[in-house]
Amino acid sequence: MMKQKKQLIVFGVLLAVAAIVWFGQRGGPVVGSNRPGYIAENYQPLPVDNPSLHWSAWDKARHTEYQSNGRNPFSAQAAPPPVAPGPLTQTAQNPNGTGQFQRKGPMPPPPPQPPVWPGNVSFFGYGTVPNGTARLAFVTIDGEVQVLGQGDTLLGRYKIVQVNNGNLEFQDISTGLSSTKALDADKAGAPPA
């Protein structure tokens, strides 16, 4: 019973403090002036010459077709630099045979060509070491036999990517382009003398 009386007294004191704060704030001045309509009196609309809709500009924007400039809007990378058309004009046959068309500007660069296997190198076989390592390729360079594994370099220019049953995958180190070399059938089975 005593505990409940203390709670009622604390509740009454808090209620009295809340009433004092509420009445104290209620009679305070409005920000900027004591008049209630002060904000509405000083309203200045934006200076617009013609507030009506510009239908011609709206219609023009509605009929335009989006053309990308090459930039991905979801990426932070900058767009590639624009290609300036050159003064060259080339004439080519239309693919469907209906005539000719002209292309102004420089021709696009040709696609990169895969690396070419050196003429003085022959791939004549492959094998494995008995302990289960990766396959090894047997090649001759100007008549000299060499054994190459995956990751080894050939002539300081080509990297052996993988040795397969009938071919050898290699990569040109300078360009990063890959190609394959088939097993030389005429030299397979026996190393050169």
Instruction: Give per-residue pLDDT as tens, 108-149.
Output: 788 888 888 888 888 888 888 777 777 888 889 888 888 888
In CATH, what number is assigned to the domain containing residue 140? 2.30.30
34-51 core/surface letters (b: 16 or more CB in 10 A; e: else): eeeeeeeeeeeeeeeeee
pLDDT tens-digit readout, 43-59: 787 787 777 878 888 88
Question: Quick check: 190 and 122 in contact, CB under 8 A?
Answer: no
37 confidence band (pLDDT: 50, 70, 90)? low
Is the Cα torsion angle 175, 176, 182, 186 positive or negative in sign? positive
In this predicted structure, the answer to whether residue 14 has a pLDDT above a threshold of 90 is yes
DSSP 110-165: PPPPPPPPPTTEEEEEEE--TTT---EEEEEETTEEEEEETT-EETTTEEEEEE-S
Q: Is residue 153 part of a domain?
A: yes
Q: Is residue 130 part of a domain?
A: yes
Q: If you compute the radius of gyration of the chain from its CA atoms, what whole number of angstroms results?
A: 42
pLDDT at res. 182: 86
Q: Is residue 132 part of a domain?
A: yes
Q: For residues 21 and 12, give the distance between their C-alpha atoms in angstroms, rounded to a whole number.
A: 14
Q: Give the range of the structural domain holding residue 165, as residue numbers without chain letter.
A: 121-182
Q: What count of other Cβ atoms lies within 10 Å of the Cβ of residue 30?
A: 11
pLDDT tens-digit readout, 24-34: 877 655 555 55
Eight-state DSSP code of residue 96: T
Greater pLDDT, 100 or 89: 100
DSSP 124-139: EEEE--TTT---EEEE
The number of C-alpha atoms within 13 Å of 1 and in the hemisphere containing its C-beta is 0
Q: Is residue 163 part of a domain?
A: yes
Q: Is residue 48 part of a domain?
A: no
User: For the chain, what is the domain count?
Assistant: 1
